[in-house]
Amino acid sequence: MSDKDPNKAKDRQYDFKFVIVLLLILAYILKITLSFPMSGSYGGVDNQWYVSPALFPLILLSALFLCCSALFFSALKGNGAKNFFSLPHWFGDKNNQHTKDRWLIIALLIVYVYILIPSTDFYLATTIFVASLTSIFYLQLNNCRKWVITVNCLLVISLVSIRTILKEDPSIGILDINDLENSILYCDISTSVALLILLGWQIKDGFSSHRTKLIYTGIAVIVVPLILVMMFSFLLYVPMPVEYGKVISFLNWLIYEQLGL
């Protein structure tokens, strides 16, 4: 395969974009790492540079910078900088359904990680995310994308509004973990309503033609996240992002107080 192969040329262009984004992220992480103490005296004990918490991140960053530099020059040599400023080349063809779905998945992931998980019970957050994906890519119901986008947008507006109205500490950002019980309660209620809407719509539209798929979807949406929460909380003892969510609180009550495990 020669350098004039159009597929290889396109790969070099994607490599160039990828390495530029990665270098920017590494530069940001390096800035944070350099803020760690390299040496000093704490409680009368002198710490040396080789026990600094910044040492291991710096080693990893050096290796990643080296790899990125190699990829950067390789991509540059293969004419990877071509179309760098072309927006369609960055975001894809806006008329292509695969491109739209790719960005929809990215948007749902961003909502899940940065809005749902810090705001509401982890189980509820995960069920909404899984129900959204199964509606579009497994059940493929009528107007599924429109429904999923509408429900998620309304939920995001609701959660952000609740957190903004009930925020007591101005220094707590919207991406921070929510630790106010009232706020968590209302966020859990909002997420539960959104989940019921999604599940009700799935059953209504899919009951006549997708009964088997609906059973598998119910297992994926309701049962699998519950198993994950049980494993993380009671087997691996991993704290949930929102510790006072209603589902995890109920499970704690059930496991520790009622079953005495």
- The CA distance from 56 to 11, in Å, is 32
What are the 10-residue block averages of pLDDT along the chain, 261 residues in total?
A: 65 88 93 81 65 83 93 88 79 81 92 92 94 89 86 94 83 74 90 93 81 88 91 84 85 86 71
Give the 3-state secondary structure of residue 41: strand
What are the residues whose beta carbons fall under 8 Å from the beta carbon of 111, sequence distance 6 or more? Answer: 129, 152, 156
Quote the pTM value: 0.74
CA-based torsion, 125, 129, 134, 135: positive or negative:
positive
- Look at residue 196 and give its three-state secondary structure: helix
Distance CA(103)–CA(111), nearest Å, equals 12
Burial class (CB within 10 angstroms; exposed 0-12, middle 13-18, buried 19+) of 124: buried
pLDDT for position 149: 94
Find all residues with CB under 8 Å of 193, minimum gap 6, and list them.
none
> What's the pLDDT score for residue 1?
45
Closest CA to 94 of 85, 86, 103: 103
DSSP 246: H
At 52 the pLDDT is 76
- Give tens-digit pLDDT for 35-65: 887 776 656 666 677 777 788 889 999 999 9
Tokens representing residue 236 in the block = 């691996």
Phi, psi dihedrals of residue 169, rounded to the nearest 5°: -110, 115
Do the beta carbons of residue 128 and residue 195 sit within 8 Å?
yes
Alpha-carbon torsion (140, 146, 147, 153), positive or negative: positive
